[in-house]
Amino acid sequence: MKHKQKLVVLGALAAILVLAYLLIDVGGQWDYVLPRRGRKIMAVLLTGSAIAFSTVVFQTIINNRILTPSIIGLDSLYLLFQTAVVFVAGSETLTMMNKQLHFIINVGLMVLFASLLYKILFQRENQNIYYLLLLGIICGTFFQNVSSFMQMLIDPNEFQVVQGRMFASLSNVNGDLLWIAGAGMVVAVFYFRPYIQYLDVLSLGREQAINLGVSYDRVVKQLLVLVAILTAIATALVGPITFLGLLVANIAYRLLKTHRHIYLIPGAILISIVALVGGQLVVERVFSFTTTLSVIINFLGGIVFIYLLLKESRL
């Protein structure tokens, strides 16, 4: 089966799952059910697209199919902000804070942090990109430890509010945030669109890309900014889903069996939508909301991660 045919099949599967989610067990309450489910589907489309897109771009830049953008510490920074607000001002401040302002602050902090890391990386020429990953791991661990320390000191009742932000959820997505997130993603992708065309060349490695005339450091820096923006928007919108990008990107590599990003990126996005909608159906229809979507995704992604590690160790 050709790449375009596989994309058509994935698109049809995604459409079937979306329709099933919207129409199953409506019970005649169309005016109440469809808007609520429609917001969840919009959140799925935005989150799945942002995470899949950013992961494929990130893995292409670093030439590694195991690592994801979360390694630079954006998820840990998001959780640190939620914990710090509760620790300093109480849980009521976090729950009563203007949703749009909260979203913008979250995205701004994560993009600012990523930009500082990139500035450190690119302030010297020929700096290895793995230096960025090392800094990201160190900062992410630091943020996580500070969050854990504050969580131990706050009131157990207030900790429940923080705990609710630790896992991604599509149930309480604010409709106004969907338009802000969607507009931000569209602007970011169109602004950085001229640099996306270099992805096929970047997948060959730094030396080959430079030999083929690519301004490597400039292109990589711009693409990393795009990755940071998309990851920040997805995380601030629904919460951290650590292994989703790893899961959908590697399934796309295996299914499409190509290095051309014109197929890989749409394929990863469609797989991400299938995974999220299918996972939400399982959460609501099988587990009756007794678990969260991120738990299921991270469980499956963790299995894929272990498999990839074992596979790499045999090479």
Q: 166 pLDDT exceeds 80?
A: no
Q: How far apart are the first and last CA of the chain?
A: 29
Band of residue 315 on the pLDDT scale cut at 50, 70, 90: low
Domains, the chain, ordered by start: 3-17+33-309 (1.10.3470.10)
Mean pLDDT is highest, among 88-92, 194-198, 306-310, for 194-198
Q: Give the chain's mean pLDDT.
A: 85
pLDDT of residue 264: 93
pLDDT of residue 116: 83
Residues near 200 by beta carbon (within 8 Å), at least 6 away in sequence: 259, 260, 261
Mean pLDDT is highest, among 34-43, 85-94, 160-169, for 34-43
Q: 268 pLDDT exceeds 90?
A: yes
pLDDT (tens digit, 9 = 90+) per residue, 9-28?
A: 999 999 999 998 888 887 77
pLDDT of residue 313: 62
Q: What is the DSSP string of 223-287?
A: HHHHHHHHHHHHHHHH---TTHHHHHHHHHHHHH----HHHHHHHHHHHHHHHHHHHHHIIIIIS
Higher pLDDT, 50 or 85: 50
> Of 69-73, 146-150, 243-247, 310-314, which range is least confident?
310-314
pLDDT (tens digit, 9 = 90+) per residue, 269-285?
A: 999 999 999 888 888 88
Largest pairwise CA distance in the chain = 63
pLDDT of residue 270: 94
pLDDT of residue 13: 94
pLDDT (tens digit, 9 = 90+) per residue, 101-141?
A: 888 888 888 888 888 888 777 666 556 677 777 888 888 88
